[in-house]
Every structure is written in C-alpha cells, then in structure tokens.
Amino acid sequence: MNKTGFQQGSAEIPEAPNGFFSHTDEPAGYSIICPDNWEKLSGIPGCLVSFGEPSTESGIRANFLVGDEELPLIDLEGYSSKFKKESQKIRKDFSVISEEKIIIDDIPAVKIIYTSTEKGILAKGVAILLMQSHFGWYIIFTSDTEAFDSHQPTFETVVSNFHLFGASRGEKATFVRPLAKLKQDMRGWGIGLIILGIIQIAVSVLSTEWGVALIVIGIVNLIIPRRGMYIANGIALFIAGVMNIVVSIEEEVTRLIVFAVLQIIWGFLEIRKFFKYRFASK
C-alpha cells in the first residue's frame, strides 16, 4: 500500500502521516503504520507482523507487533486478565505499572504499561488490547526503560492509526477469515455425518430415519460447503440425539445414551460454528 490511502468497501484507510508508511493486511482485515526507518522483523512466533527500529549494539531494540487470537467467551476485562496471567508465565519479572481503558478506532480497548526483564535488561512495554466479535487483537510495544519515553510519541502515533476495516464507521469490523478453513471443516463434518448415519442405521434400536437424514446432510456438506449448513448439521444432530435417548430408554439399552448425548453436544458445537465463521465471505 502507498500513502494515498486504501479503499476497503466504503471505509477509507487514512493516509499515513509524514515519516511513516502504511502496512495493510487485507486477508486479516487491519491496517497500521510504522516509522519510515523501521524494518519488518521475522522469527517472532504468534504475531501477524512486527517492526523494529534500526539495530542497536546495546540495549533493547525498540519494536512493536500486531497479533490476533480466538478467544473464549470473555469480555474485555477478561481479555486483560488473560493477557496479564499469560505474561507472568512468559515474561521474566513481569510487573504491571498502570492499566486504563481507552478507545482505538472507535473500539473500547485496554492499555497496559508494564516492565519485564529481557536479555538481562529491564524493559518497558505497552500492550493495547481490543476485541472484535470473539477475536482479540493486541498491539505490543517494547523498548528498554531508558529509551521508553523517547519512543512513546511514536508508538502513540502508530496506535492511533490502527484500523480494523469498518470499525471507524461505527460498524462491526468486517474481519475476514479465509474460507479455506471453513470448507475444510465442512468437508470433515460431511464425512463424519455420513459415518454417524451409517452407525445409526446399523444399530437396530436407533432411529433408521434419522440415520438416513444424517447421511443426506453429510453429502450436502460435501457438495455445498456453506456456513448455513452448520445450522442444519446442529439441528439434525440435536434431534437425532434426543430421539436416540428416548429410544434407548424405551428399549432399556442405556449404553447407547452416551452416544446420543454426544450427538447433542456435537449439534450444539456445530451451531456455535455458524457464529464463529460469521465474518467469512467469498
């Protein structure tokens, strides 16, 4: 991307200010800026991108990274607690200096300033945490404590230009995950449903009709891997599970209740995937 701005639908990514260049990741759905003389870093696991200042012979090279992660059902406060607990495990002598709520690109966020020891040197860092749907986003800046204040204005400029597509218009950011993962999962469940249907038919006391239904839905999963199929999968598994519990009780075959309960659980998890992939698109 050049400095003329990037157009994503009707949301225009602001032009980078003087002394900075823009970095936009369309598949991930975000844009950020970086100082002109900083360079892209490699070999940092778990992040989407990282940039650092020119190499220094002493001290800690000032840097920042951007990453995202799928979250359990927690709120922003829970995300902050999760970050601090994990940092205590992976960062030596991790200690929080301050924590405050801020707004980034019209999205509520948490700003955590902390210290830790890196390579035997006391480092100071800032973590910006924000959430979009069930995904968490983090921007983390690190430098040695002596240089921290001098780098702080740069980092504030970087963060103030962080953009999730759609968020600046007061909408939910259109974070797009590639369809490949959805289609792969759908194919796997298509085969799985066919196998479950065969088992359902093979066990005489279970509902043969629902066995046939599961096989048909499994085939449809393979032919038409669409997000809406998660709802069909979930409902079919849930009803089949309930019917099997009723039959198992009537026929006094209690060992099959476990299988039926698993079907109900799988059905619930399938319906959850419909919301998990809500931002997936062609």
Strands of the chain (E only): list them: 6-8, 11-13, 20-25, 30-35, 39-40, 49-52, 63-70, 92-104, 107-118, 121-132, 135-144, 163-164
Residue 277's pLDDT is 65
Which residue type sits at 247? Answer: V
Looking at the domain assignment, is residue 204 inside a domain?
A: yes
Query: Where is the domain boundary, 169, 192, 208?
Result: 169
Q: What is the mean pLDDT of residues 22-36?
A: 86
pLDDT of residue 12: 55
Residues 235, 189 share a domain = yes
Same domain? 26 vs 141: yes
The verdict on 48 and 150 lying in the same domain is: yes
**pLDDT (0 to 100) of residue 29:** 79
Domain boundary among 147, 169, 191: 169
- Claim to verify: residue 199 and residue 159 sit in the same structural domain: no
Answer yes or no: do 144 and 230 share one domain. Answer: no
Q: At 151, which CATH number? A: 3.40.1000.10
Is position 223 within any domain? yes
Is 193 contained in some domain? yes
* Full residue range of the structural domain in which residue 258 is found: 179-276
- The count of C-alpha atoms lying within 13 angstroms of the C-alpha of 64, restricted to the half-sphere facing its C-beta, is 24
pLDDT, residue 203, reads 81
CB 32 within 8 A of CB 139: yes
d(CA 166, CA 11): 6
**CB of 260 within 8 A of CB of 200?**
no
Mark whether 154 and 269 lie in a shared domain: no
Same-domain pairing of 67 and 157? yes
pLDDT confidence of residue 276: 67
78 shares its domain with 152: yes
Choose the final residue of a domain: 150, 169, 188.
169
Phi, psi of 20, deg, nearest 5: -130, 155
Residue corresponding to tokens 């039959």: 247
Is 1 contained in some domain? no
Predicted pLDDT at 51: 95
194 in the same domain as 150: no
- Same domain? 134 vs 192: no
Predicted local distance difference test score (pLDDT) of residue 58: 60
pLDDT of residue 199: 87
User: Is position 282 within any domain?
Assistant: no
- Residue 100, in any domain of the structure: yes
Same domain, 123 and 208: no
Q: At what angle do helices 229-250 and 256-276 cross, to 10 degrees?
A: 160
The verdict on residue 237 lying in a domain is yes
Residues 27 and 165 in one domain: yes
The model's confidence at residue 34, banded by pLDDT at 50, 70 and 90, is very high
Let me know if residue 125 belongs to a domain. Answer: yes
Q: Is 163 helix (H, G, I), strand (E, B) or coil?
A: strand
Q: What is the pLDDT of residue 135?
A: 82
Q: pLDDT tens digit string along 178-211? A: 456 778 888 888 999 999 889 888 887 777 888 8
**Residue 31 · residue 6 · CB < 8 Å:** yes
Per DSSP bridges, beta strands 6-8 and 11-13 are antiparallel
Query: What total of structural domains would you count in the chain?
Result: 2
